Amino acid sequence: MSTEPTALQSGFDGLLHAPRIRAAVGWFAANRALLVEQQIALCRVPAPTFLEERRAQYVRTRFLQLGYQARVDSAGNVVAARNLDAPAPWLVVSAHLDTVLSPRRDDDIRIESDGTLRGPGVADNGAGLTGLLALAQVFRTLPEAPEDLPLLFVANVGEEGEGNLTGMRYLCRESEFSGRIAAVLVLDGPGHEHLTCRALASRRFEVVLQGKGGHSWSDFGTVNPVHAMARAVALFADANSPSLSQYAERYSFNVGLLQGGASVNSIPQSASAKVDIRSERESIIQDLAESLKRCVERAVQQEQEQSRRGKLSIRLREIGARPGGALSPDSPLLAVAKAVDGELGIQGVADTSSTDANIPLSLGIPALAIGAGGTGGGAHTTEEWYRPDGRDLGLRRAFLLLCAMRSSAGVHLSL
């Protein structure tokens, strides 16, 4: 069964006037200080990608304290609901647990005199996780909410870097809820204006060059993996410069990590690089991946031709892939999101990004990624910051959107 945007709009208009809904949205503004305290406590629990267990247990305990059933699944995600055994189609609201950098001590996460929170992960994704728990708390206050409310809260693992969206992949493809997910709302970072409805595809590669190595003086002339890798990076960057682009769609590439060598006077035995390639069109990513392979092979050939002895081996492997996808411009879910923004006076901007929403969108499950309110910056650095001003507007937006989605939970929300 499907529904038209006009039908969802009509249901949303009625929802806005429900006294229990209007009363609930005031909770976020009334509890600003509490949310800051909860965010600081949450962000002080380290959760680097692949090592999210401590934070997962912390979040599970918070859900249990709020009266939800909650458990950690086989992938490491925290899943919580009023009744985890409900058979109804699920509406998922999620926020990722992991961070690129983690605090080493409590005072790495601090609040400054002007109310700014500072430290690794305070915005990405401290804002999203704090919002997830705040929404769970508000939904518990709604009277007459059925025990089988089909709203599934998920704090998932593996969103950042080489996590490769592991947690969301498991949830949508292998978990007990797969095949029964009607729609997904992702809370990722701060802000209240973007509507990420198009998934930016990406692939990530590791390049490893290996040789015999040796002493910088006595073995001079032996093939040098670092020299070859540096040449490969330069060849790839030059060949795919944006100024020479033949494509109408956007793309990007980034060599984000270069490693190799043991000392300044040793010819390295190996060198490695990690490369991120993204585009709005997956065929462009394939073109760039093939270009990367050609550039590496050419660089190695040149290094061997210019050296007196030795050979280099090449290992190029894919270490991550994020599929693309998009909501249709006439998607009912997008129509409801725009209606919510109109009600709140938000100038919502549809955009393209790489988030946990990539997975459901690639599987044909309607999904949006939005910010959890407030402002932030410096993501993925030790000086990451978050200001909670305006957080309540972002959370009211998420709450009303979930209410509108919930009101049509029995309806298939098509892409």
User: Which residues does residue 118 pair with via DSSP β-bridges, in sequence order?
Assistant: 110, 385
Same domain? For 247 and 229 the reply is yes
Q: Which of 274, 294, 322 is the last residue of a domain?
A: 322
Same domain? For 328 and 393 the reply is yes
- pLDDT of 3 over the 50 cut: no
| 117 inside domain | yes
Same domain? For 401 and 366 the reply is yes
| 413 inside domain | no
Q: Give the tokens for residue 230.
A: 């540096």
- CATH number, domain at 214? 3.30.70.360
Torsion from C-alpha of 73, 406, 35, 115, nearest 10 degrees: 120
Whether the Cβ atoms of residue 78 and residue 154 lie closer than 8 Å to each other: yes
- Number of structural domains (the chain) is 2
Distance CA 396, CA 341 (A): 10
Whether the Cβ atoms of residue 350 and residue 326 lie closer than 8 Å to each other: no
Same domain? For 339 and 289 the reply is no
Highest averaged pLDDT of the listed ranges 86-90, 139-143, 224-228? 224-228
Q: Which of 322, 353, 376 is the last residue of a domain?
A: 322
Distance CA 412, CA 89 (A): 9
pLDDT at site 256: 92
| 412 inside domain | no
pLDDT at site 142: 76
Same domain? For 229 and 239 the reply is yes
CB atoms inside a 10 Å sphere around CB 128? 28
List, for residues 12-61, the tens digit of each pLDDT value: 666 666 777 777 888 999 999 999 999 999 999 999 999 999 999 999 99
Whether the Cβ atoms of residue 36 and residue 122 lie closer than 8 Å to each other: no
Same domain? For 152 and 284 the reply is no
| 414 inside domain | no
Same domain? For 186 and 210 the reply is no
Segment among 314-323, 338-347, 354-363, 379-388 with least mean pLDDT:
338-347
| 24 inside domain | yes
Q: Which of 302, 322, 342 is the last residue of a domain?
A: 322
Same domain? For 195 and 335 the reply is yes
List, for residues 234-272, the tens digit of each pLDDT value: 999 999 998 888 888 899 999 999 999 999 999 999 999
List, for residues 394-414, the tens digit of each pLDDT value: 999 999 999 888 655 444 444
- CATH number, domain at 124? 3.40.630.10
pLDDT at site 413: 45
- pLDDT of 289 over the 60 cut: yes
Q: How far is CA 121 from CA 52, 102, 242, in A?
A: 13, 7, 31
Backbone angles phi, psi at 119, to 5 degrees: 140, 165
Q: Give the tokens for residue 172.
A: 């949508």
Closest CA to 29 of 408, 407, 388, 411: 388
| 415 inside domain | no
Tell me which H or E stretch contains 129. helix 126-141
What single string gives the DSSP state of each residue in 205-216?
Answer: EEEEEE---EET
Average pLDDT of span 143-171: 85
Residue 21 structural domain = 5-200+324-407
Same domain? For 16 and 117 the reply is yes
Same domain? For 219 and 308 the reply is yes
Same domain? For 41 and 178 the reply is yes
Same domain? For 266 and 377 the reply is no
Whether the Cβ atoms of residue 318 and residue 207 lie closer than 8 Å to each other: no
